Amino acid sequence: MSRYRGPKLRISRRLGDLPGLTRKKSKKAFPAGEQGQQSKKPSEYALRLEEKQKLRFNYGLSERQLLKNIKVAKKVQGPTGVILLQILEMRLDNTIFRLGIAPTIPGSRQLVNHGHILVNNQVVSICSYQCKPGDIISIKQKESSIKLIKRYLNSPGLANIPNHLELQKENLVAKVNGVIERDWVALQLNELLVVEYYSRK
């Protein structure tokens, strides 16, 4: 299944607040469609599917990419759900979004794809690049790149920069100091349900 390119507000109405997908807020209280207004208790499968969809749409992943990340997380010692969230949070596109350099994850993906971002003084155009502690993220020294980033910084996406990241706004240089902790993940999610969803497949 390819990456979702349809109406973003429709997804956030169905799944709740997804800070990485869109900054827009719907004025409507119910999910879309007739069924959205019915208070029917969802099944266990529906709950697991919803949590999985939150993860997919927030981080802008295809089904195949998410499955691949789940397999990687299972091989690492520790709670699979937390490790999965750390893998997704340490992606380059998400790191740029969390620094406030882009308003959403699709916006940060565009910056990476267009070659505006340097990691350790090398242009990296792969959004799924895994940032590691000690990595230095900077902006290409090009007038158009700097102008674009400064415009984004004036209206940041999330209020707080996580404690594992550090940004110097004057020279537009950021540093990854460590791996993100579970408490700093901005998405309201039960990651255990996502692991259960894939373990039952």
- What the chain holds in terms of domains, given with CATH numbers, is 8-87+186-199 (1.10.1050.10), 91-178 (3.10.290.10)
Residue found by looking up tokens 């709670």 in the block = 79
pLDDT at 1: 41
- DSSP, res 18: -
pLDDT at 11: 63
Rg (the chain; Cα; Å): 17
Question: For residue 109, how many C-alpha atoms fall within 13 Å in the half-sphere facing its CB?
Answer: 12
pLDDT by 10-residue block (mean), the chain, 201 residues: 59 64 58 56 84 86 90 90 91 89 85 90 90 91 83 69 86 89 83 85 61
Beta strands in the chain (DSSP E): 117-119, 122-123, 136-139, 165-168, 173-176
pLDDT at 39: 60
Structure tokens at 144: 């158009």
Entry field: residues in the chain: 201
pLDDT at 23: 59
Distances from the Cα of 191 to the Cα of 82, 114, 173, 201, angstroms? 7, 32, 32, 16
Q: Are strands 136-139 and 165-168 parallel, antiparallel or unpaired?
A: unpaired
The whole-model pTM stands at 0.81
